[in-house]
Structure formats: structure tokens, C-alpha cells
Amino acid sequence: MLNFTKAFTHLPAWRVFNGSGKPIDRGPNVLAEDYLDIMGQPINPQCRIYPEEMIQTGISAIDGMNSIARGQKIPIFSAAGLPHNEIAAQICRQAGLVQKSKDVMDYSADNFAIVFAAMGVNMETARFFKSDFEENGSMDNVCLFLNLANDPTIERIITPRLALTTAEYLAYQCEKHVLVILTDMSSYAEALREVKKNKEKERNQ
């Protein structure tokens, strides 16, 4: 049994990583100060604070009809040919807290972070996300994970776990408000199905 961990440091976390957590932005190597299990820590639901603060996405259909509260997760369903990548990038550019919480040390806008993970995307889509965030200045608040379609299947399963572990670190240890965006979950589901199929083949041999 393998245990996967993610290295963390107090250096600025606004970096670009591949699907296995290695920096690909030509920046300095990550000097680890702590290692966290990417399987996450169990959370007692009774200890959670009732969600009351709204996260503004800048998209009227979401903010007006299906608004997101802090601590909540919602899916965005799409189909082939629809601009789901553009919507995900737009949310990343425009997202922010409507009302700042009083349970954090820093009340400024810099205390809001975004963890963006793209799974099974092609080079064109990965280049679009990276260039869009850099051109609009949102890269200063974004930690980006890019898993390409030609990367190993197991990385597609690890990538969302790395993103969520990074979000937990920023939220619990750095005391930041964190928004996590995962796209495309269908690629993650296909990777799980492929791994399960290979396990069944090994059992039958």
C-alpha cells in the first residue's frame, strides 16, 4: 500500500504544478516544511460552522438563482461544445467573498485564495487556463494544478486530492478563505473506471 503526501512551505503558494504536484512554472523548487496525507483528514460534520457567507462568482445565473455559500459545493454540468472551460476561468477571475468573516486574522482581499485543478485536458486548454489567469492578474491568488491528457492515468486520480489537500493547508494552517475549482470531473471518473478495469483483469489472471 502506497501513501501519497504533498509537501508544503510558507513560500508564496501561487504556483503552477503538474498532476503529481511537481512545479512546472520554472520557479524555485518547493522546500518542504511539512508533509500532509493527500487522502485528507476526517471532519466531524457537527463541528462545521453553518454556511452564511456568500461567494460571488460574477455570473448572474449562479449568484442570483443558485448562489454558493462558504463551505458549500455545487456541480456545473456541461456538454461537448459548450464553453465550460471559459466559465471555469471566469469564475476563477471574478470569485470573491461578499462578506468577510471575522474568524480570520487577515480581513483584506488578499486573504482569499483559489485552488484550480484541471484533469485530463489537452495542451491547448492548459495553455488557455494559464495564459488567461496571467493576463487578467488572477494568477496572484491562484494555485494551479494541470493534468494533461497524455499524463499517466493515476495522476488524474491524484490531482484532485492534491488540490483539496492544498486547500486544506491554506484554510486551516494559513487561515485563508479558499475556493476550489475542479474540471473536468468526467476525466476523473474515466480514470477511476480504467483503474478498476485493470484491477479486475489482474484478478482474473
Task: Give tens-digit pLDDT for 57-66.
Answer: 888 888 888 8
Cα–Cα distance between 69 and 72 in angstroms, integer?
A: 5
Q: Are 95 and 49 in contact (CB under 8 A)?
A: no
pTM of model > 0.75: yes
80: CB partners within 8 A, 6+ apart: none
- Angle of the 84-94 helix axis to the 123-135 helix axis, nearest 10: 30
Torsion sign across C-alpha atoms 181, 68, 107, 40: negative
Distance of CA 133 to CAs 15, 51, 127, Å? 12, 28, 10
CB atoms within 10 A of CB 71: 12
Task: Give tens-digit pLDDT for 151-193.
Answer: 998 899 999 999 999 988 888 888 888 889 998 898 899 998 9
Domains along the chain?
Answer: 14-27+53-70+80-204 (3.40.50.300)
